[in-house]
A and B are shown apart, each in its own frame.
Chain A
Amino acid sequence: MAEWRRIPPRYRGWVPLLVAVPLAVTYPFYVTGLPTNIPVILTLPTVHDSVTILVFVVMAVGLNVVVGYAGLLDLGYVAFYAIGAYTAGWLASGQFQQINFHFGAVGVNSSETGIHISVWLVLLLAGVVTAIGGILIGLPTLRLRGDYLAIVTLGFGEIIPQFVRNGDDLHGFDLTHGTFGISPIDAPGFGQTLHNAVGLPVRYDNSFPPTPDRLFFWTVLGILLLTVFCSMRLRDSRLGRAWIAIREDETAAGAMGIPLMRTKTWAYAIGAFFGGIAGAYVATFNSGAFPSQFDFNISIFLLCMVILGGMGSIWGVVLAGTILAWLNVEGLANIGSWLNSNVFPSSHQIDVPKYEFGIYGIIIVLMMLFRPIGLIPERRRKREIEEGSLGPLDEPLYEMRGADEPGAGERGESERIPRG
């Protein structure tokens, strides 16, 4: 800890990054050499599963902009995920057979019907389309008070998956291919020219395992780093300050010249943008967009990541997102089988993954009650704890507010005085 303090505070934030990024980049090379009998967790995730994990982390970082920075409870974030995935489905597959439009797609025969746009462009377009979706959802609803906003976003999170599930017969038009989903979807790649010139892969899925998974892994790692970078830059910008000001005190923020609706809508749009990219990426990774992927539970799952990590804390959310997403794809199953063979008697075996969302519920409640600041508190809150300044003695003179003061739950009533 002493050495840690010697690093100038400005650079402290970079230390975990300098350790974590090389470890992550080289992960595909050493994961197969790791033991498969680690106590409790058994194994580290495969490269294939790591892609899914990182996609979830990208979304959690996006949701953090909405919930953590701007303090807007969004229970329908899964809608953005779905919009992104289906945008990829529409723009990079044979879904629309009556059209034949190709633009930069790699490894697709020019006679194939449908829209085939370069996946890189599709990722960006999916982000933009979803951001527009976020604005359209936000404009009418962001005026609402917190609890109403939560229920309306929940509504959107229900409507959009239902729409894609039933969108195979809109007056006879097949937009989403119903429960079957849109499949196959084109894979990303760099094409023959770049392959010949600098050796980049032509198309991710036309090489042999384990290469495709590795390519998808490195790409999503890049997307995540980009997301984190944008998120950090925004946090320290004029807009980021405005978001946090709104979270802290909406009325005062408005009185200081911050246009509330516009600023909140931007938070929605940015959050949606990342959700859309994540959705499109999952679609190209799975080569399909399926309605069953967009359950309401995903929204809660992502919210749990943000809360566990610490609302507003980027690194906290990345860490918590990684842990929870890993629990989702492999961890709970592994832990369950470890528990069943080592702890629970054979007569009382428990199917641990079945209780996944109960476990998330417990995490959410425990965090809100006992550590509302999360695993890695946001920078400003951490400073507050380190300095041990939890407010001056005359604290009762003003109103306590903010989603997130440490120990907000424990503050006694005696410390509180009605608003003047």
Chain B
Amino acid sequence: MGGLAATFVIVAAFGALVNSTIEFVAYRRLRNAPRLAVLITAVGMSFIVENISLGIYDVNAHSIPPLISSANIFTIGGVHYSWDAFFVILVTAPVLVLLTWLVKSTRQGKSMRATSQDPEAAAIMGIDVNRTISFAFALAGALAGVGAVLFLVEFNIRYDTGFQLGLIAFTAAVLGGIGNLSGAVVGALLIGLIQAFNEGLSWFAPGSDWTRSLVFAILIAILVFRPEGLLGERTPEGA
């Protein structure tokens, strides 16, 4: 169990380091540049990172020895629930609670929210904007690291797995409403359910060939009819 905890800590720290380094090297210089420049740079960065892992791990899928027992815990109506599946919830729930506390109650979290609303005003109020943004990127990287370990417990990964997962993550965040933590959770669960039903049900579901189309079609529909996301608030129209 100690080894497992260490794995989480090391991977999260590494994710935090990578993400804040990217922020420091690239995005920080573009702080005053238009949105388009940052977006494009982010696309470029994702390809660079992906190719670094291609260089290290090549094109084959990799897996790790089972960290968690897949022994059954309980069975409800023919559905077996095993330890490794339960483990995901066991980790996710406290992490989400911790994250919510961090963003809502700590100084750092308040700085983060202030910065996202108005970096200039935040700077005037004495918030170190650069440090706050670095922290946000580190936090995001650490969470991605935790997510990656959880994913690895269940599945194989390849150098480009992250790209697909990142897209789904973005979709989930947009679906829930960007900037809204519970929205992101709801969005992610919804996408997971859509995927599971689409691939698992035999009636009314087009099947796994269409999963990605389905997810994106729903994303597009939501953005068109409710651009602020499911739980996002309608912001006053800006000039």
- Are A and B in contact, CB atoms below 8 Å, in the complex? yes
Least Cβ distance of B115 to chain A in Å?
14
Q: Does B44 lie within 8 Å of A368, measured CB to CB?
A: yes
State the CA gap A418–B31 with chains docked (Å): 14
Given contact pairs A151-B170, A361-B51, A418-B120, A71 touches B219 in the complex (Cβ within 8 A): no
Q: Does A53 contact B (CB under 8 A)?
A: no
Contact partner of A152 (CB less than 8 A), chosen from B35, B43, B51, B219, is B219
Taking CB atoms, residues of chain B closer than 8 Å to A324 are none
Known contacts A73-B39, A154-B167, A162-B212: does B48 contact A358 (CB below 8 Å)? yes
Q: How far is the CB of A384 from chain B (nearest CB, A)?
A: 17
Chain A residue with the shortest CB-CB distance to B211: A162
Instruction: Tell yes or no: B98 within 8 A of A by CB.
Output: no
Contact with B51, one of A150, A162, A358 (Cβ below 8 angstroms): A358
| B36 touches A (CB below 8 Å) | yes
Of B30, B43, B220, which is within 8 A of A409 by CB? B30
Residues of A168-194 contacting chain B, CB below 8 A:
none
Q: Is residue B6 within 8 Å, beta carbon to beta carbon, of the partner chain? A: no
**For residues 110 through 143 of chain B, which have their beta carbon under 8 Å from a beta carbon of chain A?**
120-121
**Is the beta-carbon distance between B220 and A152 smaller than 8 angstroms?**
yes
A150 vs B39: C-alpha distance when bound (angstroms): 8
Q: Are A361 and B47 neighbours in the complex by a CB distance under 8 Å?
A: yes
Which of A159, A357, A360, A404 is within 8 Å of B212, CB to CB?
A159
Q: Does A163 contact B (CB under 8 A)?
A: yes
Q: Is there a chain B Cβ closer than 8 Å to A372's Cβ? A: yes
Minimal beta-carbon separation of B210 from chain A (angstroms): 6
Tell me how far the C-beta of A200 lies from the nearest C-beta in chain B, rounded to whole angstroms: 43
CA–CA, A379 and B33, complex, Å: 21
| Complex-state Cα separation, A368 to B26, whole angstroms | 9
Q: Does A103 contact B (CB under 8 A)?
A: no
Given A361-B46, A409-B29, verify A163-B213 contact (CB < 8 Å).
yes
Give the complex CA separation of A362 and B55 in angstroms. Answer: 15
Min C-beta distance of A219 to chain B, whole Å: 33
Of B32, B171, B210, which one neighbours A162 at CB under 8 angstroms? B210
A400 at the interface (CB under 8 A from B): yes
Cβ contact within 8 Å between A360 and B37: no
Residues 147-165 (chain A) with a chain B CB within 8 angstroms: 147-148, 150-152, 154-156, 158-159, 162-163, 165
Across the two chains, which residue of chain A brings its CB closest to B167? A154
Q: A300's contact among B34, B47, B220, by CB below 8 Å, is which?
A: B47
Q: How far is the CA of A402 from the CA of B35 in the complex (A)?
A: 9
Q: A365-B48, A368-B44 are in contact. Are A165 and B209 (CB under 8 A)?
A: yes
The answer to whether B36 and A73 touch across the interface, beta carbons within 8 angstroms, is yes
CB distance from A26 to the nearest CB of B (A): 37
Stretch in A15-23, A34-42, A138-146 with 4+ CB within 8 Å of B: A138-146
A360 touching B44, Cβ below 8 Å: yes
Would you list which residues of chain B between 25 and 78 have a CB under 8 Å from chain A? 26, 29-37, 39-41, 43-48, 50-52, 54-55
* Bound Cα distance A416, B224 (Å): 35
A162 contacts B55, CB within 8 Å? no
* Contact of B5 with A by CB under 8 A: no
CB <8 Å contact, A144 and B223:
yes
Query: Number of B residues contacting the other chain (C-beta, 8 Å)?
Result: 42
When the two chains form their complex, are residues A147 and B35 in contact, meaning their CB atoms are under 8 A apart? yes
**B216, A155: Cβ atoms closer than 8 Å:** yes
Contacts of A307 in B (CB 8 A): 40
Docked complex: B201-237 residues within 8 A CB-CB of A: 209-210, 212-213, 216-217, 219-220, 223-224, 227
Asked if B174 is an interface residue, CB under 8 A from chain A, the answer is: yes
User: Could you say which residues of chain A place their CB within 8 Å of the CB of B29?
Assistant: 369, 409-410
Q: Give chain A residues whose Cβ lies under 8 Å from the Cβ of B44.
A: 304, 360-365, 368
Smallest CB separation, A158 vs chain B (Å): 6
State whether the Cβ of A233 lies closer than 8 Å to any Cβ in chain B. no
Residues of B within 8 A of A152 (CB): 219-220, 223
- Report Cα–Cα, A414/B217, bound state, in Å: 44
* Nearest neighbor of A147 in chain B, beta-carbon distance: B39
Shortest Cβ distance from B232 into chain A, in angstroms? 11
Residues 355 to 403 of chain A near chain B (Cβ within 8 Å): 355, 357-365, 368-369, 372, 400-403
A166 interface contact, C-beta 8 A: yes
Q: Chain B residues with Cβ under 8 A from A71's Cβ?
A: 36
B97 within 8 A of A: no
CB neighbours of A251 from chain B (8 A): 239
Question: What's the Cα separation between A165 and B47 when bound, in Å?
Answer: 24
**A411 within 8 A of partner (CB):** yes
Structural contact, B213 and A409, CB atoms closer than 8 A: no
Tell me the bound Cα distance from A416 to B120 in angstroms: 10
B220, A416: Cβ atoms closer than 8 Å? no
- Map CB proximity to B onto A189-204 as digits: 1 under 8 Å, 0 otherwise: 0000000000000000
Bound Cα distance from A300 to B44, whole angstroms: 8
Closest B residue by C-beta to A368: B41
A358 touches B54 (CB 8 A): yes
Q: How far is the CB of B122 from chain A (nearest CB, A)?
A: 11
Q: Which one of A144, A162, A354, A358 has the greatest number of beta carbons of chain B within 10 Å? A: A358
A364-B41 in contact (CB<8A):
yes
Q: A144-B227, A155-B220 are in contact. Are A368 and B35 (CB under 8 A)?
A: no
Decide if A159 touches B213 in the complex (CB within 8 Å): yes
Given A162-B213, A416-B32, A300 contacting B52 (CB threshold 8 A): no
Let me know if A54 is at the binding interface, CB within 8 A.
no
Which residues of B are found within 8 Å of A154, using beta-carbon distances?
167
Decide if B34 touches A360 in the complex (CB within 8 Å): no
Give the residues in chain A near B41, CB-CB below 8 Å: 364-365, 368-369
* Sampled A-B contacts (12; CB under 8 Å): A141-B220, A141-B223, A143-B227, A151-B219, A300-B43, A357-B51, A365-B44, A368-B41, A369-B26, A403-B37, A408-B34, A418-B120
Apart from A304-B44, A361-B50, A369-B30, list 20 A-B contacts with CB within 8 A: A144-B227, A147-B35, A148-B174, A155-B171, A155-B219, A158-B212, A307-B40, A358-B48, A361-B47, A361-B48, A362-B44, A368-B30, A369-B41, A400-B32, A404-B34, A408-B32, A408-B37, A409-B30, A409-B33, A418-B120
